[in-house]
Amino acid sequence: MPKPYNYGPHHKTLTRRMAKYLCFFVSGIIIIGFLTSVAVYSVNLMRKYTEQSIRHSSEMLVHEYGLVSKYLYEETCSELKQFSKNRQFAGLKTHAQRVEWFNSHLNQKPDFFCNIGYATLTGDAIAANNVIIDVSDRPYFTEIVSGNKIETIHGPYICRATGETVIVVSQGVYDLGGTLQGVMFCSVKLSTLAMLTEKLDIKNDGRFFIIGDDGKFICHYDQRYLGQTYVPSSEKYKAFNSQYFFEARRGVFETISSEDRIIQVYLEAIEKTPFTCGITVDTARVFATFNQFRTLIISVVFITVMLICLLTYISTLFLNMTTLREGYYDQLTNLWTRPKFEKEAQNMLDRNKGARFVLMEMDFRGFKFLNQSFGSEEANKVLVEYSKAILTYCKKMGALCGRGYADHFYLISKIDSVNTFLEDLDDVVQEFEDAISPLELPAHPKYGITFVLPERTFYNDNKTIQDLIGEASYAKGTIKENILQVYAIYSSLMAETIEREQRIERHMEKALDRGEFYVMYQPKISLTDDKIQGAEALVRWNSSNPKLGELSPGDFVPVFERNGFIVQLDFEVYEMVFKFLREQINLGNPVVPISVNMSRNHSNPDKFVREFVRRFNKYDLPPNLIEIEILERASEGDAYNLIRVTEKLHQYGFSVAMDDFGSGQSSLNMLNEVPIDVLKFDQNFLRRENTKTGHQKMITTLIELGKQLNKKTLFEGVETEEQRDMLKELNCDQVQGYFYSKPLYEKDFVEFVKQHR
């Protein structure tokens, strides 16, 4: 059961809404994309700039440290020099004097000296506490003695006198003649050095160190490394150890710290010394803020993208729902649309296998006319009221309904039996009609009905909902203009018709090749002298297919009109007629003008006439032997085509007749405009009963009209003597009908002409 859905007015179309969403998303994405790019670009720029500035300041810093260290060294040297000079150490001659000097002056040594010593040229040294040590292997001794240097620094060492870890500054002691006498040296404890360097202002998280002999640290921010070397634990950085840095002396290197953090090491050689100083910079720590910022940006972008996705998803869901709703429900009536109806109806059929059903297709007689004459608003009211009535019925019966194109409605309902359904049908139809009657509009629904009846194979051939709709539609199509016929039920006969039409279509082309079409001739008789005036060529089909057999135009012409084959067939018929006339002339038989039928399918007058004349010219016939019967058309453009074709045919000398005049939507105006020669009145004028009074008047008027317009008048379908007499009395020019002759085979027609000339 479809749930009525209240839409309210639909101001915005789906397309407009979709376009809005699309614009929204595209602009959103562009803005977010732009902002993200700007943010990422600036972060990268800042990072690059910071990197450069860190590098620059670190290089400056390590350079400064190098200078300070050099200064410390120079200070130490000058302190040592000053110490010995002030106390005239250089003037002492003997070893005993020097020992004596040490004993008396040692307590006057500068505070930061750990020890002071003096070594003879053999390497025997006196130091504080009168300890005699051998320093002959120490580089601070050898470098002086070898004459390479006059002062130097080395270390770290375990002091042989005090056991402390120290660095040693040494100077040569020369006599007045400049000859080296011995080596004066002092030691500074690494801890004292650390105290001195601690005062240095360490910036940028950089940490200061000095590497001495053999890659051992004489100064290090981590006390544990004093006097020790450092080799990174990671295989990758193993080469970048303290020994390597000691030797490298200058540059920037990457390695890892004892805490396994990647660090950058900036090195600078301490001038005048073999030592190297340096600082370490923990890049990760420096960039931690940037990394945090980057993470923030990534998170923001991520969250934004997620939000967009979510928003898109929700909108798509919403759009889908709208699309579905708009696709499922008809906006005017709120009934289901045809696709939705088909789906639900098919489900209903599938779920209730073995049950009986009725399916109806409804539409209105001349709805187009209603629309045009009363406006679509009024016509829509009819649809809305009608749909309400259907829905009410469906709710009551548990049936389903939907609206298709324009005024088409569908209904499917389970039924107990065909009989009970038919018993109620009139009431139901009346109910529906009552719903629209207050509108007082000429709206008359008609119904095509088909059943699903499991007990009857014909009605239950595993048909789909589309098959059923096709059947109901076909049945509805059989309803004639008679206003009293409201519904038609699909029958096996209709099924046969469909099948037969399909068979006709399958065989038509071959039939033409095989010459299965032939022409019969129906004489036209003059009412003044009962003589033959002409004949109409009427096509027949003698099909070689036993299921088709002998067919008259009523069976196949409508099918050919629908599929367009009639165009081809018409020309074939014309040629059969031309050929027949040619043969008769050649045989010396009398001939009369023959009229041929032109179907409505010939839409291009010029093309038609060109082809007609081309074929006609092959037979060398006088054109007055040929008349063309044209049919009325509905629209104005068609009227133009009729005028054009008639005029062109006249140019070639052919006569033109208006066939079945009065059967369709004739307009007298058209009659005036189209310069036809003959008016052939529709046989229905004679078919109608009570030909007596009113009707006879109409026939009189028609004939008079023809005469006034200077047309030859012809009545077809004259079957009785009374009809003939009446027409004769009314001065009708010619008649065609069974009263004189049915359509005749060629041979018989030739005889007829001979006898009725």
Nearer to ligand C2E, 425 or 631 (CB): 631
139 is in the binding site of which of Mg ion, ligand C2E, none (Cβ under 5 to 8 A by kind)? Answer: none
Site string for Mg ion, 568-607 (x = CB under 5 A): -----------------------------x----------
> What's the CA gap between 678 and 734, in Å, rounded?
10
- DSSP letter for 699, please: H
Nearer to Mg ion, 349 or 535 (CB): 535
Please, is 624 exposed, middle or buried when counting C-beta atoms within 10 Å of its C-beta (0-12, 13-18, 19+)? Answer: exposed
3-state secondary structure of 626: strand
Query: Per CB under 6 A, which of residues 625..644 are in contact with ligand C2E?
Result: 629
Contact call for residue 573 and ligand C2E (CB under 6 A)? yes
Task: Give me the least distance between CB of 727 and ligand C2E, in Å please.
Answer: 12
Angstrom CA distances, 319 to 14, 19, 230, 316, 322, stand at 8, 11, 68, 5, 5
CA dihedral (345, 349, 350, 354) in degrees, to 10, reads 170
Nearer to ligand C2E, 356 or 602 (CB): 602
Angstrom CA distances, 529 to 525, 533, 707, 757, stand at 8, 10, 19, 10
Stretch that binds Mg ion, among 100-108, 282-290, 348-356, 629-637 (CB under 5 A): 629-637
Out of 659, 706, 712, 756, which residue is the one contacting Mg ion (CB under 5 A)? 659
How many chain residues are in contact with ligand C2E, going by CB under 6 A?
23
> What's the CA gap between 202 and 65, in Å, rounded?
10
All residues at 6 or more sequence positions from 592 whose CB lies less than 8 Å from its CB, including other chains: 523, 532, 533, 534, 535, 625, 753
570 is in the binding site of which of Mg ion, ligand C2E, none (Cβ under 5 to 8 A by kind)? Answer: ligand C2E
> What's the CA gap between 514 and 682, in Å, rounded?
33
566 is in the binding site of which of Mg ion, ligand C2E, none (Cβ under 5 to 8 A by kind)? Answer: ligand C2E
Q: Which amino acid is at 17?
A: R
Nearer to ligand C2E, 241 or 599 (CB): 599
For the record, the structure tokens of 723 come out as: 């009809």
156 is in the binding site of which of ligand C2E, Mg ion, none (Cβ under 5 to 8 A by kind)? Answer: none
Nearer to ligand C2E, 105 or 695 (CB): 695
Contact call for residue 738 and ligand C2E (CB under 6 A)? yes
349 is in the binding site of which of ligand C2E, Mg ion, none (Cβ under 5 to 8 A by kind)? Answer: none
Query: Per CB under 6 A, which of residues 512..571 are in contact with ligand C2E?
Result: 522, 538-539, 552-554, 557, 566, 570
Stretch that binds Mg ion, among 69-77, 659-667, 718-726, 747-755 (CB under 5 A): 659-667
Nearer to ligand C2E, 561 or 647 (CB): 561
Out of 411, 625, 737, 753, which residue is the one contacting ligand C2E (CB under 6 A)? 737
User: Which of 209, 241, 286 lies closest to 49 in space, CA to CA?
Assistant: 286
Nearer to ligand C2E, 342 or 659 (CB): 659
For the record, the structure tokens of 383 come out as: 């649809």
H or E stretch covering 114 = none
Nearer to ligand C2E, 243 or 601 (CB): 601
Nearer to Mg ion, 337 or 597 (CB): 597
Task: Give me the least distance between CB of 628 and ligand C2E, in Å please.
Answer: 11
User: Which of 436, 469, 467, 451 lies closest to 338 in space, CA to CA?
Assistant: 469
Q: What is the side-by-side strand order in the sheet with 115-120?
A: 132-134, 124-127, 115-120, 180-189, 165-174, 151-158
Nearer to Mg ion, 268 or 660 (CB): 660
Nearer to Mg ion, 282 or 660 (CB): 660
Contact call for residue 745 and ligand C2E (CB under 6 A)? no
719 is in the binding site of which of Mg ion, ligand C2E, none (Cβ under 5 to 8 A by kind)? Answer: ligand C2E
Nearer to Mg ion, 37 or 684 (CB): 684
Do strands 124-127 and 217-220 pair parallel, antiparallel, or not at all (unpaired)?
unpaired
User: Which of 450, 400, 461, 393 lies closest to 422 in space, CA to CA?
Assistant: 450
Task: Give me the least distance between CB of 661 and ligand C2E, in Å please.
Answer: 10
Task: Give me the least distance between CB of 332 and Mg ion, in Å please.
Answer: 42
Out of 570, 629, 632, 733, which residue is the one contacting Mg ion (CB under 5 A)? 629
Tell me which residue has its CB nearest to ligand C2E. Answer: 553
Contact call for residue 282 and Mg ion (CB under 5 A)? no
Cis peptide before 156 (omega within 30 of 0): yes
Task: Give me the least distance between CB of 415 and ligand C2E, in Å please.
Answer: 40
Task: Give me the least distance between CB of 18 and Mg ion, in Å please.
Answer: 55
489 is in the binding site of which of Mg ion, ligand C2E, none (Cβ under 5 to 8 A by kind)? Answer: none
Stretch that binds Mg ion, among 7-15, 98-106, 553-561, 628-636 (CB under 5 A): 628-636
Stretch that binds ligand C2E, among 36-44, 216-224, 496-504, 737-745 (CB under 6 A): 737-745
3-state secondary structure of 731: coil
Do strands 532-542 and 594-597 pair parallel, antiparallel, or not at all (unpaired)?
parallel
Task: Give the other-Cβ count within 10 Å of 689's Cβ.
Answer: 6
Whether 713 and 703 have beta carbons less than 8 Å apart is answered as yes
Out of 524, 716, 730, 744, which residue is the one contacting ligand C2E (CB under 6 A)? 716
Whether 133 and 103 have beta carbons less than 8 Å apart is answered as no
Contact call for residue 660 and Mg ion (CB under 5 A)? yes
3-state secondary structure of 10: coil
Task: Give me the least distance between CB of 595 and Mg ion, in Å please.
Answer: 7
Please, is 233 exposed, middle or buried when counting C-beta atoms within 10 Å of its C-beta (0-12, 13-18, 19+)? Answer: exposed
Nearer to ligand C2E, 337 or 522 (CB): 522
> What's the CA gap between 750 and 589, in Å, rounded?
8
- DSSP per residue, 248-309: H-SEEEEEE-TTS-EEEEEEEE-TTSS-EEEEEE-HHHHTHHHHHHHHHHHHHHHHHHHHHH
> What's the CA gap between 64 and 266, in Å, rounded?
12
Stretch that binds ligand C2E, among 129-137, 207-215, 606-614, 717-725 (CB under 6 A): 717-725
> Which residues of this protein are in contact with Mg ion, per CB under 5 A?
597, 629, 659-660
> Which residues of this protein are in contact with ligand C2E, per CB under 6 A?
522, 538-539, 552-554, 557, 566, 570, 573, 597, 599, 629, 659-660, 716-719, 736-738, 743
